[in-house]
Amino acid sequence: MTTLRLTVGQALIRFLAAQRTERDGTEHRLIEGCFGIFGHGNVAGIGQALLEYQFPYLQSRNEQAMVHAAAAFARTRNRMSTLACTSSVGPGATNMITGAALATISRLPVLLLPGDVFATRVADPVLQQLENPGGWDVSVNDSFRPVSRFFDRVWRPEQLPSALLGAMRVLTDPAETGAVTIALPQDVQAQAFDWPPELFRERIWHVPRTPPDPAALARAAELIRGARRPLIVAGGGVLYSAATDALRAFADAAGIPVAQTQAGKSTMRSADPLCAGALGATGTAAANELAREADVVIGVGTRWTDFTTASRTVFGDPGVRFVNLNVTAMDTAKQAGVAVTADARAALEELTAALRGWSAPGGHRHRAAELSEKWQQTVTTACTTRHEPLPAQAEVLGAVNEIAAPGDIVLTAAGSMPGDLHKLWRTGDPGSYHVEYGYSCMGYEIAGGLGAKLAAPDREVFVLVGDGSYLMMSSELVTAVQEGVKLVVVCVDNHGYASIGSLSETVGAQRFGTSYRFHADLAANAASLGAQVFRSRTLPEFRAALEMARAADRTTLVYIETDPMIPAPSSESWWDVPVAEVSELATTRDARSAYERDKKQQRPLL
């Protein structure tokens, strides 16, 4: 039998280069490249193989950041392609764990290849090795297990094929995807083995459009036909399924308004009369009012997080019922809904056919349009009111929204920015809104922008980052400059943690520990990392700088200070954050009273 003698590292890279995905007749390369930071745990194995086979390689500056970039890449590609990330054993590996948690929570496929200790143990303990007296087979990489959808450690070369096939299966499974980790002992990476040639032949992983069960679909259709005030809640699954046209057709045929989660924003254009906008704790008054009145709620591709449900207070009808269309069975059982486990596009198309001839009362569609128009007027006021001496964050976001084209991507992750964007951003094309809110991870922004731009090089990417997140992880500005990846970074300096500052007040903690006591020059820092920088002090200056940044051919940061004490318009909803039950502080006692009052609206939805 003919075999190929390669190291484990070489076999791994040869295998990854041959993997493809396919859906609806279109093929994609599954692993389009590899981020890597090298040390003694991976330089002689994976590092050597990347060099030998000239596999697309990107040099990152921070291991957590490169996983964020890979996750953003996968999200921008609707999970049909992703990137691999390799690190050395030890701190390089454990730095990736936060990124792995984000990817798994947000159900984004990323392939992690951390180096590991010697399989032979002849040199134990090696540099950076954890010695666990309870078992010599434990390493720091076992920390990946709870935050990975698939984990394996390749102790012997013979184990590599099964590990790789298991990893690819999870990466391409729309219901089970997330972080996939294959830990590779450093001596095994460099070990040669005789491999069967079929391991390296092109392999196509077909991503299915799982159809709904006819009986489940019939139950859903029957419930919807009895609705008087139905509401659709569109989640990220609509985008990943490329189901935006199907959603619009279903909503229009049935006359049902659409509210959107953070992951589901841009499933409909904001100008659409049936688009009620954001739902929940960071939502619009329009969508939340419709949710309070809804008697049937149709969740499509949403996992019903606490922000979406306003900690289970937003749905006010005593008899409200739910229909859950989701490719993940776990999510279809939430809210005691009628469960339809299926691909979002397939389910919407079949549900549209099942409801042919039926629509919600005309007055319901009209009321939704009126509420949406009223909210748009609120947005216009918030984004155009001129505050002095510093502008409000809403004014900055409004300016970016005006200058960005419909196909441009706006991207952020943590702090006050996601909530304000969810309420205020007027979306254009599908996928133009990229806010990571599953893990709400500070530091994702610039790294995520890098990944999104790599995945969509023809689209402008506007990265919105606050000073807190910028200071946590700005290193990938260097990577963007080095790789010639153009980003427009808007750095909003509000001298601290604006979101938690506001939350601190609501729980009676008086913004304790949320304001910076030293002001760093973030614009100067960005310039030192290689970015072109424009400072702006006023909104006219900011607009002019933003225009220049969009027209530039290199990564540019536009810096502006804002007043953190000017809030965005209220969502008229609630988020459950417990308040100290006893306190000598009057502010805390008052906050506890308000908390107990609001918590009475919470419902089990069983």
Residues 389, 330 share a domain: no
> Is the pLDDT at 296 greater than 90, yes or no?
yes
**pLDDT score for 183:** 98
DSSP state of 355: T
155-164, 311-320, 511-520: lowest mean pLDDT where? 511-520
Q: Domain for residue 144, yes or no? A: yes
Q: Is 439 helix (H, G, I), strand (E, B) or coil?
A: coil
Please indicate, yes or no, whether residues 183 and 221 belong to a single structural domain of this protein: no
So what's the pLDDT on residue 498? 85
Determine, yes or no, domain membership for 578. Answer: no
In a domain, 86, yes or no: yes
**Contact assessment for residue 181 and residue 112, using Cβ atoms and an 8 Å cutoff:** yes
Q: Which amino acid is at 589?
A: R
What percentage of residues in the chain have a pLDDT greater than 70?
A: 100
What pLDDT, in 10s, does the model give residues 299-338? 999 999 999 999 999 999 999 999 999 999 999 999 999 9
pLDDT digits (tens, 9 = 90+) for 37-91: 999 999 999 999 999 999 999 999 999 999 999 999 999 999 999 999 999 999 9
Q: Indicate if 199 and 77 belong to the same structural domain.
A: yes
457, part of any domain: yes
Residue 604 lies in a domain: no
For 282, the domain range is 214-373
Kindly state whether residues 397 and 368 are assigned to the same domain: no
The confidence band for 501, taking pLDDT boundaries of 50, 70 and 90, is confident
Residues 45, 168, single domain; the answer is: yes
Last residue of a domain, one of 373, 402, 422: 373
| CA 139/CA 306 separation, integer angstroms | 35
Global pTM reads: 0.97
Per-residue pLDDT band at 515 (split at 50, 70, 90)? confident
pLDDT at 309: 97
Q: CA–CA separation, 205 vs 222, rounded Å? A: 36
Same domain, 10 and 113: yes
The confidence band for 12, taking pLDDT boundaries of 50, 70 and 90, is very high
Same domain, 445 and 485: yes
Same domain, 172 and 230: no
CATH of the domain at 198: 3.40.50.970
* Residue-level pLDDT at 499: 86
Identify whether residues 445 and 365 lie together within a single domain: no
The predicted structure's pLDDT at residue 3 = 95
pLDDT-derived band at 496, boundaries 50, 70, 90:
confident
Q: Are 594 and 526 in contact (CB under 8 A)?
A: no
Give SS3 for 493: strand
Residue 587 covered by a domain: no
Average confidence (pLDDT) over 84-100: 97
Final residue before a domain boundary, out of 344, 373, 402: 373
The answer as to whether 574 is a domain residue is no
Question: Average pLDDT for residues 213-219, to the nearest whole number?
Answer: 98
Torsion, Cα 193 197 201 204, to 10 degrees, reads -70
What mean pLDDT, rounded, does the chain reach?
96
pLDDT at residue number 397: 97
CATH number at residue 243: 3.40.50.1220
Residue written as token pair 């996601």: 418
Residues 189 and 312 grouped into a single domain: no
Task: Say whether 274 sits in a helix, a strand or coil.
Answer: coil
Question: CA-based Rg of the chain, rounded to a whole angstrom?
Answer: 25
The predicted model gives 404-431 an average pLDDT of: 95
Structure tokens at 539: 């909104």
pLDDT (0 to 100) of residue 343: 98
State the DSSP code for 73: H
Residues 368 and 397 both lie in one domain: no
Task: Give the end of a domain, one of 206, 230, 258.
Answer: 206
Could you tell me how far CA 352 lies from the centroid of its own chain? Answer: 29
Same domain, yes or no: 391 and 355: no
pLDDT tens-digit series, residues 454-476: 999 999 999 999 999 999 999 99
Asked if the structure places residue 597 within a domain, the reply is no
Number of structural domains the chain divides into: 3
pLDDT in tens, 533-576: 999 999 999 999 999 999 999 999 999 999 999 999 999 899 99
Which residues lie closer than 8 Å to 248 by C-beta, 6 or more apart?
268, 272
Per-residue pLDDT, 605? 85
- β-pair type (4-7, 203-206): unpaired
